[in-house]
Amino acid sequence: MLITLIKFKYLSFFREKTLRRRVVSLTGISPKSINLYKSAITHKSLNNLPSEDLSNDDNERLEFLGDAILSAVIADYLFRKYPGCKEGLLTLMRSKMVNRENLNNVAILMGFDKMVLIPKNGIPAKKNIYGNALEAIIGAIYIDKGFKKAKQFIKSRIIRLHPDIDQLVCDDLDFKSRIIRWGQKSKQEISFESYELNKPNTPEPVFVATVYIEKNPAGEGLGTTKKKAQQDAARKALENLPS
């Protein structure tokens, strides 16, 4: 009995040491409470499996906390990086950055697919379990080390691995392309009409553009060039489309 107990404690110590080393490699942070990180990488399906080595905690509560912290840090990052962007575009960019599929891909790039504890028979990949574990790790860092360390981890490890943010901005600012893509997806015809206003006393030309959906006017815009007027018209039309 004593030998069995000593063996179990030795194995637990060895596994904890291995986990600690992996957490440091993954996050750059030396944990105070390794059990928090153990919970963060434990999928809820393991709660139903008997095991002497796993705690009863899974990562759902930590995921909830980490999701809120990640969203706040991303919002702060975008707000400071793009001072000229409107609220709607900032919200759209943040949504893309914390999108479940994108976050899952980032987590795999970081190596979470080799750390998350799941049943031996596995669970469906579409569950985005690695992205969920990444959010749970953020929650664990926040509790263990505070908001400053969690923010540092997000900026240095997650934002750095995210697809080009500047390209996201360019894509989202191209309203004409966006509404054309929407039309193709919805199988509705999109067309534009433009003309120049006759204003002799203005220092710059003024163009008016109208975007039509199935020959029905959906938005009208102004601009100093035909292209700018069409972009303005498309932007207004997109604001009225169902989400």
pLDDT tens-digit map of 19-74:
888 888 888 889 998 889 988 988 776 554 344 333 446 688 999 999 999 999 99
Q: Domain coordinates of the chain in residue numbers?
A: 2-164, 174-239
DSSP state of 117: B
**Integer CA distances (angstroms), 212 to 18, 150, 177, 208, in order:** 61, 47, 14, 13
**Integer CA distances (angstroms), 78 to 54, 70, 72, 73, 149, in order:** 39, 12, 10, 9, 19
In CATH terms, 2-164 corresponds, of 1.10.1520.10, 2.60.200.20, 2.40.110.10, 3.40.50.300, to 1.10.1520.10
Looking at residue 164, what is its pLDDT? 62
pLDDT tens-digit map of 157-216:
888 776 566 666 555 567 888 888 888 888 999 999 999 987 777 677 889 999 999 999
Fold that domain 174-239 belongs to in CATH: Double Stranded RNA Binding Domain (3.30.160)
Looking at residue 75, what is its pLDDT? 94
Looking at residue 6, what is its pLDDT? 36
Q: Are 45 and 170 in contact (CB under 8 A)?
A: no
Query: Does the pTM exceed 0.85?
Result: no
- The number of beta carbons lying within 10 Å of the beta carbon of residue 174 is 14
pLDDT tens-digit map of 79-132:
998 887 778 778 878 887 888 888 888 888 888 888 887 755 555 555 688 999
Burial-class residue 231 by CB neighbours within 10 Å (0-12, 13-18, 19+): buried
Looking at residue 92, what is its pLDDT? 77
Q: Please identify every residue annotated as catalytic.
A: 67, 135
Residue with tokens 């049943």: 119
Please give the backbone phi and psi of residue 99, each rounded to the nearest 5 degrees, phi first. -55, 140
